[in-house]
Amino acid sequence: MSAPAGTTPPGPVLGVVGGGQLGRMLALAAHPLGVRCVVVEPSPSPPAAAAAEVLAAPYGDAAALAELGRRAAAVTVELEEVDTDALAAMEQSTGVPVRPSVASIRTCQDRLLEKELARSLGLATAPFRDVTSRDDLAALGFPAVLKLRRGGFDGRGQVVLHGADDVEAAWAWAAARPALVEGWVPFRREVSVLVARSATGEVRSWSPVENVHVDGQLAESRAPADVPGAEELGRRLVEGLDHVGVLAVELFDTAEGLVVNELAPRVHNSGHWTIEGAQTSQFEQHVRAVLGWPLGSTAPTGHSAMVNLLGTVPPVEAVLAVPGAHLHLYGKAERPGRKLGHVTLVAPTPAELEARRASLAEALRRAG
């Protein structure tokens, strides 16, 4: 069984569309399972290059996807803005499964389809309406939010309508792009739940997460959060989509209960705490799920807080001096607002977590 030096290492290849930090952390988690990631990514030296082979090509490049089809046991995505037609063609011609399915990705790409799916499963969403004319913008009253059906994330791709005076500018902004209008949801907090489903049908969810956004971008997550019903809701969505892999569900926690906001058909920033804060990380679980392997325990290892490092990287020494701080840098150059890394703190009690969170805040403040 011994192979000559220089041959391909044993174990399956996982094809990944996208080579950012999510692809990087997927690739780092895949190696211990004997799985090598090959990513399609136009940037020549992306974060995932740390631990994955990079095919430098646009996400929808037919030749690059065909190469994944020749080499990979399965193909997955680390971003939702992929060319699903190109993926479907690759799957058709090579027989290599795309996981999650093209249908699941298409639903999660489109805010209107997401909401229709949630409603069809009996889950609450914001009031919403497809926008086909100027009049639709005022149909739900004010305030309301005009959102592009595709492409927005981190607070981009949407504008708030405070009143009738805002309609004209919003209509011009949308510029005939497919969009929907959503009624305002008064929420107490933003939470999320991550669920994994293996190709075998096995489903596991992690404890719910409470999230704090700043300027529309995730700043901090805490888990486990007490959000009754969130895990069951996540299970219904992952099964309703026939989804394979990790599914992230962003929710509003309101006085009337949980409201489904957005779905991401992939590992998610609000699940980074699972690397140290759960028995099995979202990255390892996603690899297991898309390869049809048994899923791991999602039990928490303590009380976790995940803090994003945005725009600048603090001195490594300052972060590592904080008791219990786990640093994750993505190998990206600094740029205002850019996600450059995160720090996870895990503590045995909520009080101890607060103390560590305060130490980290102080270290980041002094470093900044």
Residues that bind a second copy (CB under 8 A): 1-3, 5-11, 24, 28, 31-34, 36, 43-45, 47, 50-51, 279, 288, 293-294, 296-297, 301, 312-313, 316-317, 320-321, 323-324, 326-329, 331-335, 341
Cβ 84 to a second copy shortest distance, Å: 26
Q: Which two tokens stand for residue 183?
A: 């009624």
User: Cβ distance 146 to 128 under 8 Å?
Assistant: no
Cβ 337 to a second copy shortest distance, Å: 11
CB nearer a second copy, residue 64 or residue 295: 295
How many helices and strands (H and E) does the chain possess? 11, 17
CB nearer a second copy, residue 25 or residue 260: 25
CB nearer a second copy, residue 10 or residue 95: 10
What's the helix, strand, coil split of the chain in %, to 5?
A: 35, 30, 40
For residue 245, the surrounding DSSP H or E stretch is: strand 245-254
Q: Which two tokens stand for residue 256?
A: 């009337």
| Number of CB atoms found within 10 A of residue 180's CB | 20
CA–CA gap between residue 53 and residue 60 (Å, rounded): 17
Cβ 293 to a second copy shortest distance, Å: 5
Cβ 236 to a second copy shortest distance, Å: 26
CB nearer a second copy, residue 150 or residue 338: 338
* Main-chain dihedrals φ then ψ at residue 138, nearest 5 degrees: -100, -5
The one-letter code for the residue type at 195 is V
Q: HSE (CB half, 13 Å, CA atoms) of 323?
A: 9
Cβ 343 to a second copy shortest distance, Å: 10
CB nearer a second copy, residue 87 or residue 223: 223
